[in-house]
Amino acid sequence: MLSASSSLLRSSLRTAAKSGLQLRCFSHLPLSVPIKLPNGLEYEQPTGLFINNKFVPSVEKKTFEVINPSTEEEICHVYEGREDDVGIAVSAADTAFNNGSWSNIEPSYRANCLLNLANFIEQDKELIASIETLDNGKAINNARGDVQVVINYLKFAAGQADKMGGRLINTGDQYLNFAKREPLGVCGQIIPWNFPLLMWAWKVGPALATGNTVVMKTAESTPLSALYVSQYIPKSGIPPGVFNIVSGFGKIVGEAITNNPKIKKIAFTGSTATGKHIYMNAASQLKKVTLELGGKSPNIVFADADLKMAVQSIINGIYYNSGEVCCAGSRVYVQEEIYDQLLEELKNAAENVKVGDPFSESTFQGAQTSQNQLSKILSYVEIGKKEGATLITGGERLGSKGYFIKPTIFGDVKEDMHIVKEEIFGPFVTVSKFKTLDDVVKMANDSEYGLAAGIHTSNINTAIKVADQVKAGTVWINTYNDFHHQVPFGGFNASGLGREMGLESFEGYLQTKAVRARLY
């Protein structure tokens, strides 16, 4: 791979990293660098901030390093935004909103632009999936699935752009009443590192379809795919200032976005702790907020379930995307009659999960996205052992290069253990026994989170009864991590506020104006 910086610069950055310093430097970085991907594809990677439909350097010309989690090698540098850059981006977005070039234009025009955007991505989808795999470490087949969901969701959002107008209200012949749906204004959007492009689309789609403008912060560890697809924004017909990206760090760029008074709405996907902080900051200015946060989701297997199907759903529920999924089925509950049999089959299946080179077509579990995440997962392995749980399989780093870990299963767990209660965010699952439906519902709901749940049974009455009682925003029956762009996604309790995807996702980007006119 080609790098944007010299060997001297890389050496300095490595030294800084070993000293615990942030990987930042002053550099005259070009606005794009050539990159050759491991699968042989070559492309130009944008490195600038994206403001007013152009890639530009940051005000202070600082950059930060982007690391390939599969090799621990530098991919390139991108410009690091700071408070001044956020101010410039917000000003551009505010101007674009107030001049009406997007907010007041015919909704069908916005629909066509979003459709164009989806089509550009579709034409380039193999390259975009490869960029996602390079930057995030996820398996290439997972990345391809992400890109397809991106395309489908943008097309869905395009189809809703002209359906958000409002309604007439009949109060008799002396008045004309109508409720009008209007965009909010400038929206701040902060996306995570586990699904960089997918979260980009989940935020962009409803915000732009409803006529808002956007200032977005990507995750500092995975900025590349969002920057790459942003080059399609002007080509799609979207006016300058409507969509902007300021790459950078949460404590600087994220804070500046959250606190800017011109930003009327914050959409954040990430940890519950950060979500609470953002919520408190936004509340001081009465900003509208959407939060998609953490989870510790139960995946329940009844004795009458199809065992092979259930095991495959558990595998998909916890090892898909290297386990870096907020709704991962990280707590498996198995009815006691089949506990031993399921645990043995699950162990065999986990040990046959292909972990390694994410560009290999046979790989299911790629690398963890960062050294920090790998270290966190391994620390929970030690916590689980100390708490008295039984390590069934995994729990070890795989190889010495790249952030890989073996699929991990703990049995003989108790419900008050840290490994059962706390979000680990990796390929790490606990397996518990239960006796009755009432028992497992109580266990499933014994969590501060409420993002998702899985139910495996051949009895539809059992499935619906548990689905009704479990406290989760999404419930999958005889499947898991099975997303569709028309189905809303979001959590209860500490898992967040508002919804992504589905018709419900548009509500977070609209406000209602009532008009009542007396007729003479």
Q: Tell me, what's the pLDDT at 165? A: 84
Q: Residue 17's pLDDT band (boundaries 50, 70, 90)?
A: very low
Helix (H), strand (E), coil (C) string for 56-109:
ECCCCCEEEEEEECCCCEEEEEEECCCHHHHHHHHHHHHHHHHCCCCCCCCHHH
pLDDT tens digit string along 142-181?
A: 999 999 999 999 999 999 999 988 999 999 999 999 999 9
Q: Which of 80, 292, 500, 507 is catalytic?
A: 292
- Mind listing the pLDDT tens digit for each residue in 222-255? 999 999 999 999 999 999 999 999 999 999 999 9
At 4, is the pLDDT very low, low, confident or very high (cuts 50, 70, 90)? very low
> Do residues 321 and 364 make contact, with C-beta atoms less than 8 angstroms apart?
no
Identity (one letter) of the amino acid at 481? Answer: N
Residue 442 CB contacts under 8 Å (≥ 6 apart), including other chains: none
Q: Which residue type sits at 411?
A: G
* Residue 474 pLDDT > 50: yes
Does the pLDDT at position 516 exceed 80? Answer: yes
* Cβ contacts of 282-289, under 8 Å, gap ≥ 24: 282/258, 285/259, 285/261, 287/263, 288/184, 288/264, 288/508, 288/511, 289/265, 289/497, 289/498
Domain 7-293+501-505 architecture: 3-Layer(aba) Sandwich (3.40)
Name the DSSP letter for residue 251.
I
The mean pLDDT of 271-295, rounded to a whole number, is 96
Average pLDDT in the 359-377 region?
A: 97
**Phi and psi angles of residue 21, each rounded to the nearest 5 degrees, phi first:** -90, 155
Please classify residue 280 by burial: count the beta carbons closer than 10 Å to its beta carbon, then call 0-12 exposed, 13-18 middle and 19+ buried: exposed
Interval 499-511: pLDDT, tens:
999 999 999 999 9
CATH number, span 298-490: 3.40.309.10
Least Cα distance to 196 among 179, 175, 219, 178 occurs for 219
Residues 504 and 488 sit within 8 Å (Cβ to Cβ): yes
Pairing between β-strand 42-46 and β-strand 49-51 as defined by DSSP bridges: unpaired
Examine the pLDDT at 18 and tell me if it is beyond 90. no
Q: What is the mean pLDDT of the chain?
A: 94
Average pLDDT of span 384-413: 97
Q: Residue 141: enclosing H or E segment and its boundaries?
A: helix 140-160
Q: Which residue has the tokens 């009682």?
A: 469
Q: How many CA atoms lie within 13 A of 457 on its CB side?
A: 19
> How many angstroms separate the Cα of 140 from the Cα of each of 92, 268, 316?
36, 26, 15
Residues of the chain with CATH 3.40.605.10: 7-293+501-505
Tell the residue number behind the tokens 């997007």, with chain if given.
Answer: 102
308-360 pLDDT per residue, tens? 999 999 999 999 999 999 999 999 999 999 999 999 999 999 999 999 999 99
| Distances from the Cα of 509 to the Cα of 3, 211, 265, 376, angstroms | 39, 9, 8, 35
Q: How many other CB atoms are found less than 10 A from the CB of residue 56?
A: 16
Position 102: which residue type?
W
Domain with CATH 3.40.309.10 in the chain: 298-490
- Under the phi-then-psi rule, with left for phi > 0, alpha for psi from -120 to 50, and beta for the rest, what region is 40? left
pLDDT for residue 43: 98
Place of tokens 């008009």: 515
pLDDT at residue 28, as a whole number: 76
65 is catalytic: no
Convert the pLDDT of each residue in 105-142 to its tens digit. 999 999 999 999 999 999 999 999 999 999 999 999 99
Rounded to whole angstroms, the Cα distance separating 332 from 347 reads 13
Q: CB–CB of 297/286 below 8 Å?
A: no
**b/e for 483-509, b at 16 or more Cβ within 10 A?**
bebeebbbbbbbbbbbbbbbeebbbbb
pLDDT of residue 13: 38
**Sheet containing strand 452-456, strands side by side:** 390-393, 408-411, 428-434, 331-335, 298-301, 452-456, 474-477
Write down the residue that tokens 């406000």 correspond to.
511
Identify which of 369, 300, 308 has the alpha carbon closest to the alpha carbon of residue 330.
300
- The Cα–Cα gap between 423 and 421 comes to 7
CA dist list (Å): 310 to 314, 331, 347 = 6, 14, 13
> In whole angstroms, what is the distance from residue 407 CA to residue 317 CA?
12
- Which residues is 216 bridged to in the sheet? 189, 245
SS3 per-residue string spanning 476-519: EECCCCCCCCCCCECCCHHHEECCECCCHHHHCCEEEEEEEEEC
463-482 average pLDDT score: 98
Arithmetic mean of pLDDT, 186-195: 98
Alpha carbon separation from 448 to 424, 465, 492 (Å, rounded): 14, 21, 9
